[in-house]
Every structure is written in C-alpha cells, then in structure tokens.
Structure 1
C-alpha cells in the first residue's frame, strides 16, 4: 500500500470551505478519506466543497458554527463519530487576521477575535476530539512563518501562531502515550485575496530568494497529506515549512 494513501480514513477539518483548508480537504479526499468540514459563515462555499468531495467518491458532511463555542465543538465531534464511526485525523486550520501596523490602533475586539479563532478555538476543538483518537491517529495544526519571523502588520496574529507552535509541541508530549502524532504546517504567504492584500506580491523583485513568492493553496496541501499518513510515522511535535525558501530556524 502506498504510504501516501488514506483509504477509508476519516478527517475532521476546520476552516475547509476555502483556501488552504479547502485544498487540503480535497487532496485528502482524493487519497481516500471521508471528510467532515467545519466552517464559520460561508454555507455556500461549504456546500460546494461537500459536493466536490462526493464527486471524488468519498463521504462529506459539513458543520457551520464557531469553534470558540465548546458545546459546538463537542456536538460536532459526536455527530462526526455518529456518521463516520471514528476520527483518524484532526486538522485545525480555522483562523483569521486583522492587519494593523501600529499597536496603538489595535482594536480590542479584533485582538480577542484573533485569539478566539486561531488558538482558543483550536484547543477547544482538540479537547473535544481527543477522547475519540486512538493509536495511529494524527493531529495537524496550521501555524505560520510569522510565528518565527514576526510581522509588522500582524502583531496579534503572529502571537497566536507562535502559541500554536508551542501548543503543538506540548500536545505531542501529552499524546505520546496514546500513540497519537501531533504536528503542524507553517506556510509563508499564500495567494488568497486576503494574504495578497496584506503581504503584496512583486515577482520582479530580484532581491528575493528563488522561491520566495506567494504559494498557491494547492502547493501547501501536500504537507498536510504527508503528516496525515504513515509516510510521516517518525514525526511528532514537528513543523513543516512550505514557505518558498524562508529560513526560520524552527
């Protein structure tokens, strides 16, 4: 059997109605997984994703709600177990950002929303799913190159992404006795409308390293596939860096 196959595995993934989460969910479905998708508000996008996964011959269910609500997390996990019978892979991908280049102008509401979405919700969803995970299961968290390099316009966002790295490493220690691997993916700039607006894109800048450009979501997705499969059986507490050549020493 190909180590990068996921035949009859089940995946619960947050933030999979667009961007990196969508690309990862589709790739894992192509490799044989059934997918449970958590989305926040884009019902149309989530329903489209459900149909695309069904067209790949796999099962898909969608859940709209806020992962900062512990009851929503618990109900979603229970409904996923009821539908699929198990959860093999948990992918914590939901997140948000509010660019601001001056800490004095940071809005408290945005700071709290960023932490609630990016790290508190991640912990709550993982807490709800963890009792159902068994030996051989995998947890994959989405962090960012900003966790290592910082970012002048994304102060609170970068702080949450640093917290995700620490959460990943600490949970890997807790999960070791159960035989559950916990890893993360730290993309650099990715070509979504939000990140292009935030980071900019200038392919003509000759001072850039050869691969330093915004990635596509499809270029990030294979990192999630690798960490979800037996091909990464010797990896836990680690972070993959599909960032176009940025040196982050992490």
Structure 2
C-alpha cells in the first residue's frame, strides 16, 4: 500500500513510499541496511544541490546507512567532502561511499567503536590530516533495546546505551572542536522519544533527552567561537535500527501510529540537516527541529 507523496508541496514522479513493511528482524545492533526489505529511500532525485556546502568537510557518525546515509548524500549534493565514521557495517558503508563519489565528492570511511575515546580522536585526526579542517560534525549514531520493564535493563545494557548514544558525542565533539573554524556547525541526532518518552525504551529515551540538553548547553558554550549547535529529533524513520530493535509484528505496522499514518524515510530528514549545517541556518543555534510525521511534542 502506497500513498501519493508530495515533495515540498509539489506532486513529482518519485519512488513509492511504503506505509506497511514485511515482517522482519535482525539480531544485531545497529543493523544492516542491505538486509532490509524494502530498502530505505535515502535520496530524493528531485533534490538539486546549490553549493550550500561547497568544499566544506563533514564528519558524519553512523553515516553508512539510514539517516546518516541520506545526510551524507545530501551534503555531497551541496558540495561537501564526507568522512563517515561507522562501527563495522562495511557493505553499507561501501554503498554510501559509491553514492557520494558518483556525485563527484570525496568520501573517507573510518570504521571503529566510538564508545572508545581514542577511536573518536582517530576519526578527527584522520580528517584533519586529510583536509586540514572540520566544518560540520554530525553526531548521529545510536543503539536501542526493547525492554518491557526497568527491571529488565541490565547494567551492561545501560552502559552500552549511554556510552554509545551520548558519551561518544562528548568525545567526538571534544576532539573535533579545535579543528572547527568560525562558521562551523554541529548537528546532533536526538529523537521524539526525548519528548514523549517510550515505556519500553527507557534508557534510549533518557540518552536522547540528554542529547537535547547537551545541544542547548554546548550551543551557549561555543557561540562566541562562531560555532552553531543544533539537533534534529526524528520520529519513526525506516532505518536499520528498526528491524534490529523490534519484533517482526512491530515492524509490520511501524510508523502507523503517527498522524501521517506512516513511517518517514531517511531522505525526508536530510534537508533539515543541510539547513542546520549551512549558512541558511546562520541564526539558528541551541534548537531542536522535529521531523516526526505530526506527533505533538512539548519542549
């Protein structure tokens, strides 16, 4: 079942956007895009870049797939060179690299576990050595684990959630800041769950709430350096994290409970990251932009 889908208010010929999904499950976080059915839609063919990020250098964590892949491709269309930090999803990462290089931009892949501060420093060192600067940092990687009760959340899971979803943001940003000139931008991926809470994603929701506060505080801290810091709060988006988190039956109806009655696709978030990364967002800092299919949130 597919709806008519308008791009930016105009009916265009485009790939069909699914409303329901075949039941499926992956058993490893954060998941593999190449195994998904259907594959997420990461590129809007009607999006034409206008040089908003010409010759900029962007690090995108989790850029191998999902939202990160869509952001990487949109940034490349806008003229940026891309460094993708990812765990070990090599096949997905290579596909993303190929998509970026087809757009005429450079793409560097750096696998590694960002829970380790030395890996974060390595990502930044490689980027600085190759390009001499970092103009955009997108902190985008995450894990999430379904648990019906707080009593079911082990100490190991709690550590994994916080080390991956927020502590690594501190490490990667701390390493990058000395290489970010005035006019640079940091964009953090949080979640609608930071605002509405999710009863079976307690630790995940908590880390995403921390990202909102981190974004606000860091924005004030670096504003005099001419660096802007913002966040994007996605709702239900069809990414590898979904089949890697939910049961097959939950996947089947994923996204149906929002006002737009469907999950979003990664390409639908990418222009917001472009806005926040580019001079179009020059008067925006410390803010969170919601892309969630119509869910009401209170900040």
Q: Shorter-chain-normalised TM-score: which range?
A: over 0.9
Aligned to 2:20: none
Between structures 1 and 2, the one with greater helix share? 1
Unaligned 5+ segments in structure 1 are none
Q: Return the structure number with greater relative CO, CA threshold 8 A, min gap 6.
A: 2
Within the candidate set 126, 130, 140, 1:93 is matched to 140
**C-alpha root-mean-square deviation of aligned residues, in Å?**
1.9
Aligned to 1:47: 94
After superposition, the Cα gap between the structure-2 partners of 1:77 and 1:42, relative to the gap in structure 1 and judged at 3 Å, is: same
Tell me whether 1:215 sits opposite 2:260 in the alignment. Answer: no
The structure 1 segments of at least 4 consecutive aligned residues displaced by more than 3 Å after TM superposition are 196-205
Aligned to 1:24: 71
Tell me whether 1:183 sits opposite 2:216 in the alignment. Answer: no
With the length of structure 2 as denominator, give the TM-score of the two structures.
0.78
Alignment deviations for residues 96-144 of structure 1 (CA, whole Å, 9 cap, x no partner): 0111111111122111111111000111000000111111000000000
Aligned 8 A contact 1:5 1:31 in 2? yes
Residue 241 of structure 1: SS of its match in structure 2? Answer: strand
- Aligned ranges for residues 41-120 of structure 1 at < 5 Å? 41-120=88-167
With the length of structure 1 as denominator, give the TM-score of the two structures.
0.93
Aligned to 2:177: 130
How many angstroms apart in 2 are the aligned matches of 1:102 and 1:169?
30
How many angstroms apart in 1 are the aligned matches of 2:295 and 2:74?
25
Q: How much does 1:47 deviate?
A: 2.0
Q: How much does 1:212 deviate?
A: 4.3
Q: How many residues align?
A: 247
Q: How much does 1:73 deviate?
A: 1.2
Aligned 8 A contact 1:146 1:161 in 2? yes
Tell me whether 1:230 sits opposite 2:272 in the alignment. Answer: no
Aligned 8 A contact 2:62 2:140 in 1? yes
Unaligned 5+ segments in structure 2 are 1-48
Tell me whether 1:121 sits opposite 2:168 in the alignment. Answer: yes
How many angstroms apart in 2 are the aligned matches of 1:49 and 1:231?
25
